Chains A and B, each alone.
Chain A
């Protein structure tokens, strides 16, 4: 196994601090791993620019890699291409749903003009009903919107598209 692949699998064991059901790799924030001489450089991209979990990403990555014997670690930020929910893998979307968060629906296409895009169907992660209502575009964390299911009456988070 290439050493970079080994590092990737270590990173894949680090849960997202706010959504521990998926790892930071599955979330798509790890953009590059490079090992030159003894310097290990990890490039990450924040989901939202003000996401408070970013500092935790950095601390967690350093801590886990130090445990694995890497001492010379540099963490770089990259803003372009900007993070998009399209980078969340299908596998991770299943995990999100099982965890009770509705995963992003049909990519990033809904960000055209101000009022275009129409209402889209977000299935309830509890009962799978399509009969759900958007309560607020802003939910418990920067990356989520707040919905309610009109059938089972459960409120739930929706991982909104960006």
Chain B
């Protein structure tokens, strides 16, 4: 594998996760449980879209030809998307969204913190910039985990179920292949094994405050995102997200 191809693939994986979760968060817009929370969820969506654009344009530049951030976002099918599976899971109820985002934010927090030191300038700048935003997202979702898990009987039962339901999608975030190997060797990519223990500590720290049990790591974990194999949910989401640019190609916004 050529270095350039690995770099494109690595950038797409990170960019796609931000884009897909950003789209999920946009679905909350006008549906939030309170006005303040609606604004928060939409703000998080906006940050994620911005982060995604940085790396989609980078991947587009590397690919050359007529690729752009828009062609990459709107003209790829689900098998050409490489976002972590957890980011495409439906919003469910508010607790499901909070748990899904908490697991993913904690991952991004540690990944971007490490990515700041990448030998690739664009990835390092992306890590530095995105870390500031993700820190606020992680804090926001951590506070909600603690609040819901110490709330009413209903909120406690719901959040416990959300953790059980979403946990099997966390393993996919740490999967690596030859793309990672090649780039880790060049000090460009981050060895996700080093992120995993930090991620575990963050989950433990928040769950202790929430009186929640961290599920066993031995459960069967879903995988596939590295090869573009997704849950059934992604296709439906792309159908909605990509409809306008596909129905009206080359339309000026």
Contact = CB atoms under 8 A, between A and B. Distances in A.
Contact of A136 (B39, B126, B129): B39
B128 A138 contact: no
Contacts of B202: 114
A52 interface: yes
B130 A138 contact: no
A50 interface: yes
Given A136-B40, A137-B40, A138-B40, A50 B128 contact: no
A142 B46 contact: yes
B138 to A, nearest CB: 7
Contacts of A81: 128
Contacts of B47: 48-50, 142
Interface in A125-161: 135-140, 142, 146, 160
> Interface extent on B, as a size class?
20 to 34
B36 A136 contact: yes
Nearest to A112: B135
A142 B135 contact: no
A82 B132 contact: yes
A138 B140 contact: yes
Interface in B46-92: 46-51, 53-54
A50 B139 contact: no
Contact of A114 (B50, B125, B133, B138): B138
B143 to A, nearest CB: 9
Given A49-B54, A136-B37, A114 B46 contact: no
A137 B138 CA distance: 11
A138 B54 contact: no
A60 B72 CA distance: 28
Contacts, number: 81
Interface string B32-44: 0000110110011
B125 A79 contact: yes
B39 A48 contact: no
Contacts of B49: 50
Contacts of B184: none
A46 interface: yes
Interface residues of A, number: 26
A111 B139 CA distance: 10
A44 B47 CA distance: 18
Interface string A69-84: 0000000001111111
B39 A49 contact: no
B51 A50 contact: yes
B237 interface: no
Contacts of B126: 79
A138 B121 CA distance: 30
Interface string B120-146: 011011101110110110111010000
B205 interface: yes
A111 B132 contact: yes
A25 to B, nearest CB: 20
B206 interface: yes
Contacts of A79: 54, 122, 125-126, 128-129
22 contacts: A46-B50, A49-B50, A50-B45, A50-B46, A50-B50, A50-B51, A78-B125, A79-B125, A79-B126, A79-B128, A83-B129, A114-B142, A114-B202, A114-B206, A136-B37, A137-B40, A137-B136, A138-B36, A138-B40, A138-B44, A146-B36, A162-B133
Interface pairs A-B: 4 shortest CB-CB: A50-B50, A49-B50, A80-B125, A138-B40
